[in-house]
Structure formats: structure tokens, C-alpha cells
Structure 1
Amino acid sequence: MPLHYAGPKPMISQTGIEFDHNKEDKFVYMSFVAELIKALDHPYINDKRYIYTPAKAITDTDVILDLFKTYDPSLPNEIEDRKKMTEAEIDNEVEREKNNRLLLPEEREIYVKNIQLLRQYRINRAINKTVYYSGVFSLANIIHRGHISFITAPMLPVHFHVFHSIQGTLSKLHPPMSSNITIYEESGHLYTRLEIGSN
């Protein structure tokens, strides 16, 4: 199943559709997650520092999906489950708004049409979120297994977002792992650093 960029989170009402640009589609972060998996999944020698410079970003969605499935073989089932769940949620919204007596009949009609208009958009966003967190969970396990103490990357919003997701996932492992994100300057460039410890 091909992955597609959907867009920011939609806010749907009887008056129209707006987009929350602070809630970007997880699709935009998948490439960096794939790069981190490639960079981090290898044997480690104690106290050796590893530097990874990708030749080019991993942007082929088939390559990303195949990589994530290598670490999470149940991912296709998770995608299908998420798709069905999202479709059911949208169907419930449609029925709720069809019966919403607080709105005028024409407002109800517009609301339902707006929901239907963004049906595939929302399904794609939900699938992308499922795939993204599958990759992040795999990363957290690689970090745990490799006893990785820190990861540093240029300070870009994409990198910071992925580090934040990893941080949340590490805290949910058994046993949980504590972590801290810092931003620092070195030789005139900003970097972000995810420091990892165990609770």
C-alpha cells in the first residue's frame, strides 16, 4: 500500500474547512526516522563514538515502508486496523451531524459534505501516523538494545520533532528509559541532542 502526504490537521465545521499548520502530517518525519534506523542499528563497541552521514535522504516511500516492516512485521495489519477504525469514526461523525438538531438543515448538509470531502485525506493522515509511530517504536528498541547514550543532529524542526517522539516512546518501554533533549551551538551551528539514560 503506497504512502502519501496528506497535509496538516483539518478542522471541519458547517462553515468550512480550516487546517492547523501546527499539526503537520507525520509523513514529513518518516524519512528522518528511516535514516536514524539505518544509522543506529549495528553492533556497538563500548565508549566508541559513531558518526553517520547519509549519502542522501531516504525519500522513497516504498523503501521506508519496507524498512519499517522489517522491524515491525505486523505493520500491514496495524495499517489495515487503523484504516478501518478511521473509516468508522468518519461514518459516525457523518451520522451524528446528519442528526444534529442544533444546526439548520442546510448547515447539516454542508457539514456532512465537508466531512466526506476530507474522508481519504483523514484516512491517509491516520495511516501515516501509524507508520510513523511504528518506525519510532523500532528506533526506541534499537536505542534500548544498543545501550545508546545520545544522538545528535542539526537543529531542524523535523529532527527536534522526531527526537521528541522517541523521548515519549522511550518512557513507555519496559523498563522505561529517561531522556533529555537539549539544543546547543557548536562552530556557529545549532544542534539538538537526545541524551538517553535508564530509569
Structure 2
Amino acid sequence: MKFEYVGFKPVISQHGVSFKSGKDDKYIYLPYAYEILEAISYDYGANKNHSFSSKIDNSNVDKLFNKVSLVYPNLEDDINKKLEEFKAFLDNEQNEILNNTQLNEVDKNTYISNLNLMKDYQLKRAKNKIFYYYGVYTIAKVIKDKKLKEIELPFNEKFWHVLKTLQGVLSREKINSDIKVEYKDTNLRLKITTSL
């Protein structure tokens, strides 16, 4: 399965298409999710500490897909199923516009044309987002299985974003967690601790 960067979240209306600059494509977080997963996949045995040197690059996206597929063997089918659901949502959105009594025919046609123009873009973004969440679910599973109490990472906005998503996933599974930023040896570090 192929993933690619698409861009910011589109805001689509009868007036045109714009993009929300604060809502970037989840694709940018995939290499960081891989690095976290790779770091915590270590066989700890008696050694409770493990140091890992991360190397962020886009080849990590394919590596992440391979690792997540080990946990979710039907990953590609699952992603495609969710994309079909999203396509149905987009089709329903068009039906709502057609039935909107507040818009005239020109506005309806323009709005639907803009939606059609951006459909492939939205599907690629959705695919990246679905996969991103599968990556985070896999990280959460490894944390639970290994009963990891603490993960420390270099401070980076993208690592922080993945940890915030992870915190939400752990919370839904009744696992408390806390994210802190600390100075360690004159470097900023991210630390997530869990209640496991």
C-alpha cells in the first residue's frame, strides 16, 4: 500500500477551496510513529533500560506499514474498508448540498464541483490518517504488552503530536499517562509515563 504526503486540510464551499494551515496531513507524523514503535519493540528481558538512536526519513513509512501489518494482518483491507466508508460520507455530503434549500442552483453546482475536484485529495488524506491511527494503536499495544512505564524521546513537535495521540488511545483503554518536557544534559526531552 502506498502513502504520500498530500497537504493541509481543505475547507471546501461554494466559494472555493482554501486550506487550514494548522491541520497538516498525518503523513508527516508516520516516520516519527515508526521510530517510537521501533524503539519500544526492543526485547528488554532483564535489562529495563534501552537507548535507541532514531533516524527520521520517509522510508520509515513503508517500515511502519510492515510492522503494523504484523499486529493487524488485514491492515490493507481494513484501511480500504474505512476508505469506502469515507467515500460514502463524501457522497452523502453531496446529497446534503443538493437538498440544501439555502443554496441556489449555481452555488450547489459550484460547491459539488469543488467537492469533486478535491475528492482524491481528501481520500489520500483520510488514508494517511487511518494508517496513522493504526500505527498509534500498535504503539499502545506494545506498551500494554510490555507494561512499559516510561518512554523518553528527543523533544520534537512531531514526536509530541504522536505522544498526544497515544495518550488519547491509552486513555480510552483506561491507562493513565502523562507527558512532560524536561531538560536533561542541556537538551529538551519528551517523556511519557504510564500507569502500567
TM-score if structure 1 supplies the norm length? 0.91
How many angstroms apart in 1 are the aligned matches of 2:169 and 2:46?
Answer: 24
Does the CA contact (< 8 Å) of 1:34 and 1:58 recur in 2? no
How far, CA to CA, are the matches of 1:59 and 1:193 in structure 2? 24
The 3-state SS of whatever aligns with 2:12 is strand
Taking the aligned partners of 1:46 and 1:64, their CA distance within structure 2 comes to 27
Could you tell me which of 168, 189, 196 is aligned with 2:194? 196
Written as runs of structure 1 = structure 2, the 5 A alignment for 1:109-120 is: 109-120=109-120
Structure-2 separation of matches of 1:191 and 1:7 = 28
> Can you list the C-alpha shifts for 1:27-69, whole angstroms capped at 9, x where unaligned?
1111111111111113224563211003x32422333322221
Q: What one-letter code is carried by the residue in structure 2 that aligns with 1:28? A: I
Equivalent runs, 1:148-187 vs 2, <5 Å: 148-173=148-173, 176-187=174-185
CA–CA distance in 2 between the matches of 1:49 and 1:65? 26
Aligned to 2:143: 143
2:133 maps to 133
Query: For 1:126-181, what per-residue CA distance to the aligned partner results, in whole angstroms no more than 9, with x for missing partners?
Result: 111111111111111111111211111122110110011111111222xx211000
Deviations 1:45-98 (A, max 9, x none): 4563211003x3242233332222122112112111111111111111112212
**CA-CA distance at 1:101 after TM superposition:** 2.2
Structure 2: 5+ residue runs without aligned partners?
A: none
Secondary structure, counterpart of 2:97 in structure 1: helix
1:15 matched to which residue of 2? 15
Per-residue CA deviation, residues 105-143 of structure 1 (Å, 9 max, x unaligned), is 221111111111110111111111111111111111111
Q: CA RMSD in A?
A: 1.6
- Alignment partner of 2:83: what SS? helix
- Superposition deviation, residue 184 in structure 1: 1.6
The size of the alignment, in residue pairs, is 195
> Are the equivalent residues in 2 in contact too, given 1:43–1:146 (CA < 8 A)?
no
